[in-house]
Amino acid sequence: MKVLVLGAGQLARMMALAGAPLNIVISAYDVNTDTIVHPLTLQKLGTGLSNAIADAEVITAEFEHIPLPILEQCQQSGKFLPGSEAIQAGGDRRLEKALLARCGVASASYLVINNEADFKQAVSELGSPLIFKSALAGYDGKGQWRLKAPGQADAVWQQMADFLAADAKQAIVAEQFIGFNRELSLVGVRAGSGEVNVYPLTENHHVNGVLSVSLARPVNIMLQQQAEQMFAAIADNLNYVGVLAIEFFEVDGKLLVNEIAPRVHNSGHWTQQGADVCQFANHLRAVTGMPLGNTELLRPTLMINILGEDHVPAAILSIAGLHLHWYGKQKRPGRKMGHINLSADSLAELKARFARLIDLLPEAAFPELEQMLGRVSD
Ligand code: AMP
């Protein structure tokens, strides 16, 4: 089976690695250069979207910021899953908020800002603190502004006015700032038949808006049920096929959706070692019409992102239950270069292994890991 992935980054790479044992061959389409590449070597295989589509039995995507004409051409082929509507909803915060409202799913109160009058209305209606997010092309905390107190309104508006003036397609979504207890995410998979399998909720720690650590462990059943209901509402509404990730804020036992990602997700990388069937294999199973795989947690597992570094101390490989996943990318500050998965049969053992790992990793490149160490307990 031949699957074309829109995007040629690490998610396409990990789909290729998971697809090989299933006899699924992945090619990746780099939307920026209009080239078809091998997802592991990035060797050029051809050019042109039409050629890429013609050669594929199924088309899917590894990111959501894809130009509309490309999405439309893929949609017209009848091979595209989860399809253009889902990808657009993940890439435009206005569509995403409208989707959540349509599904009756709780999220932070918001208003869309196109001009200064909208901005003033947002500040008076939503109060402060507020967080402002670019409607398009926002990810990992990029394209965001914060208003801590009304006195900062003029200065914050000036920055946003310049941003809006530079791109007529942009808008800004103003959101109430949520004083959350924790950030969690749910990764799940929906088949064409409507069958859904979800992984356990994962607890996530971000540093400067970028995911640093995800922890998968046995979860609070009430929270898991809330998350699963929201997942089903959103996935059913989109008639979704494939892996979908939902990021949440937990506020006193209640979940609010922060955002959705219509694809395999960084907070699901732990499934490569901690779950029976990983998110990459499950996404490919869903989009190619194979039975979904078991999403049960096999053992508590942590995922630690490697950001802006192209090597780690070799000694970490001697820690039992540790698996290193490099993406083969050129080093750049802050860039997602790889990740470490660390598993154990018990939380106590995972904590001991994590403490050894923290001792071996340079703190400058892996800040705030100690904060997550405390979470790895019963
Ligand atoms: P996002 O790109 O929307 O995922 O935002 C990046 C990070 O900013 C999130 O992981 C949160 O830590 C924080 N954040 C985003 N939206 C809010 C909000 N409404 N209230 C509080 N923190 C937020």
Residues 294-317: tens digit of each pLDDT: 999 999 999 999 999 999 999 999
**328: CB partners within 8 A, 6+ apart:** 13, 40, 42
Say whether pLDDT at 359 is over 70: yes
Protein residue closest via CA to atom 7 of ligand 1: 209
Domain boundaries, the chain: 2-80, 109-176, 182-373
Spacing, Cα 209 to ligand 1 middle (Å): 7
109-176 has which CATH code? 3.30.1490.20
131 CB under 6 A from ligand 1? yes
pLDDT of amino acid 150 = 86
**Ligand 1 pocket residue status of 177, Cβ below 6 Å:** yes
| Pocket residue to mutate for ligand 1, from 63, 131, 175, most atoms within 8 A of Cβ | 131
Pocket probe for ligand 1: among 258, 265, 371, the residue whose CB has the most ligand atoms within 8 Å is 258
- Characterize the bridge pairing of strands 172-176 and 301-307: unpaired
- What number does the ligand 1 atom closest to the CA of 108 have? 19
Tell me: pLDDT of 273 over 70.
yes
Lowest mean pLDDT among 154-158, 237-241, 244-248: 154-158
Q: What's the pLDDT at 142? A: 72
Distance CA 376, CA 277 (A): 23
Say which CATH class 2-80 falls into: alpha beta
What is the spatial distance between Cα 177 and Cα 191, in angstroms, rounded to a whole number?
35
The span from the CA of 46 to the CA of 24, in Å, is 19
Q: Which two tokens stand for residue 275?
A: 């779950």
**Mean pLDDT calculated for residue range 239-254:** 98
Instruction: Please determine, for residue 54, whether its predicted confidence score (pLDDT) is greater than 90.
Output: yes
- Please state the rounded mean pLDDT for residues 275-299: 98
pLDDT at 281: 98
Is the model's pLDDT at 14 over the cut of 80? yes
CB of 173 closer than 6 angstroms to any ligand 1 atom: no
What CATH number does the domain located at 182-373 have?
A: 3.30.470.20
Ligand 1 centroid, distance to 246 Cα (angstroms)? 13
Nearest CA-CA partner of 26 in 15, 35, 34? 15
Integer CA distances (angstroms), 323 to 60, 95, 132, 339, in order: 27, 37, 37, 9
Ligand 1 in contact with 175 (CB < 6 A)?
yes
Q: Is 25 buried (19+), middle (13-18) or exposed (0-12) by CB count in 10 A?
A: middle
Confidence at residue 378, expressed as pLDDT on a 0 to 100 scale: 67
User: How many A from CA of 112 to the centre of ligand 1?
Assistant: 16
Q: What is the pLDDT of residues 15-52, one digit of tens each?
A: 999 999 999 999 999 999 999 999 999 999 999 999 99
Average pLDDT, the chain: 96
Which pLDDT score, from 0 to 100, does residue 143 have?
Answer: 83
Q: In which band, very low, low, confident or very high, does the pLDDT at 141 lie, cut at 50, 70 and 90?
A: low
Distance (Å) of CA 93 to CA 1, 111, 183, 214, 289: 34, 11, 19, 24, 30
Residue 137 has pLDDT above 90, yes or no: no
- Residue showing tokens 């036992």: 253
210 CA distance to ligand 1 middle (Å): 10
Contact 262, 64 (CB under 8 A): yes
- Find the helix or strand (DSSP H, E) in which 70 lies: helix 68-76
